[in-house]
Amino acid sequence: MSAPRRLPHAFRWLLPLTLGILVGLTGLTFIYARGLSYFRDDPQACLNCHIMRDTFDAWNRGSHKAVANCNSCHTPHNLLGKYAVKAINGWNHSQAFTTGNIQDPLRIRPFNRQIAMDNCMRCHSSVIDRMVSNAKGQQVDCLHCHGNVGHGTRR
């Protein structure tokens, strides 16, 4: 029986060094991007991104400010769903800002649009129930007419 093969000396320190650099850069990026702020429901977190200033200002003057914050409309209302969506969107946002590939104006993706629609229906179910019954099989799309709620005027 032969003795187990040992890793070459260079690999013994290369793997821990690479992992250390990766963990360090991830931590620095998280701190620089104010990552902890995204775990709260504070709308100020959205201001970490400079292109959200107009959206934040419009929400701050709008009718929903007294009853809803960003997460009220843009994340599911269960703990796992909320943080899963935050993780997905956080990854997408960090990727866009790192590469400079930012849409202007911002456009909601179908995945996030459905979450917003679900939340419209949850909060406004009494109105929507009547709309659905009058829609005669057509899909109700709150955001078609009310897409600027909480965001000011659409471009």
| pLDDT band at 77; cut points 50, 70, 90 | very high
Nearest alpha-carbon partner for 69 in 36, 44, 33, 106: 44
Least confidently predicted of 50-64, 106-120, 124-138: 124-138
Whether the pLDDT of residue 112 is over 80: the answer is yes
Q: 3-state DSSP call for residue 104?
A: coil
What's the predicted TM-score (pTM) here? 0.73
| H/E segment holding residue 6 | none
Q: What mean pLDDT value characterizes the chain?
A: 83
Nearest alpha-carbon partner for 106 in 126, 87, 92, 118: 92
Q: What is the pLDDT of residue 83?
A: 92
> How far apart, in Å, do the first and last CA atoms of the chain sit?
74
Residue type, 52: M
